[in-house]
Amino acid sequence: MTRGLLQAEDVEVVGAVDRVAAGADIGTLNGLQPAGVAVSEDLPSVLAKVRPQVMVDFTVAAVAITNARVAVAAGVSPVIGTTGISLEQLDELHQLCEARQVGAVVAPNFSLGAILMMHFARQAARYFPRAEIIEMHHEQKLDAPSGTALKTAELMAAEIEAGGAPPAAAEKAAGARGAAYRGLAVHSVRLPGAVAHQEVICGGQGQLLTIRHDTISREAFLPGLLLAVRQVLQLKGVVYGLENLLAL
């Protein structure tokens, strides 16, 4: 992701924070020419020194929300690509952003294809009585189900409930049926070789509809990330979900 930001014509990378790579040049780390930006271990000092407009964070939830507080206090707009941030933390961040008159984007997934997959699944939920979600990620992913799977289930359940019918209860057989979330069965797979994959299978009388998205490279996240970086400066408060920046 950093490589893509370094190569974007309208984005200037002015600072970088990472405990492991501290001291290295961010360009060299990404296989490019030296960028003249040394990686630091200390976020507050970097923000104070280079005064960026936007901070991009792909850490984990506990660290990301702490980093976001520091950024907003410095008048910097955070763009966060991390799952696991609670509604209470989002509300806190929204209030901090409004107080400082800055924007923030928090997105469980920056892949435009994944956003469209969720959009189509939400539409399909109006017309099919049952659906299940299967998501597969690399074995090092900590959370299960993924934030994208939970977001998909939320969108589909909201669509079903808006139509006046509660989601059909997913049958539960211990150890075999994944997790039931708002009436939708969600199955998580963690395997080496996978990146990020999800399919939604909708079932109705005499038919199945499968909506699938496969991320085969992390480059898939770059167009959505750049969209968020470019638009966050126009916001005041938190926008949760990349779909809210798209005309869907």
- Catalytic residue numbers read 137, 141
Take residue 45 and report the two structure tokens written for it: 């000092």
Q: Are 67 and 59 in contact (CB under 8 A)?
A: yes
What residues contact 215, with CB distance under 8 A and at least 6 apart? Answer: 111, 113, 114, 195, 196, 197, 221
The whole-angstrom separation of Cα 38 and Cα 15 is 7
- With vertex at residue 104, the alpha carbon angle to CA 102 and CA 105, rounded to the nearest 5 degrees, is 155
> Is residue 191 helix, strand or coil?
coil
- For residue 164, what is the DSSP state? T
Take residue 26 and report the two structure tokens written for it: 């961010």
Count each helix (H run) and each strand (E run) in the chain, helices first: 8, 11
Take residue 204 and report the two structure tokens written for it: 């109705």
Residue type, 71: A
Reported as type and span, the H/E element at residue 98 is helix 87-100
**Radius of gyration (C-alpha) of the chain in whole angstroms:** 20
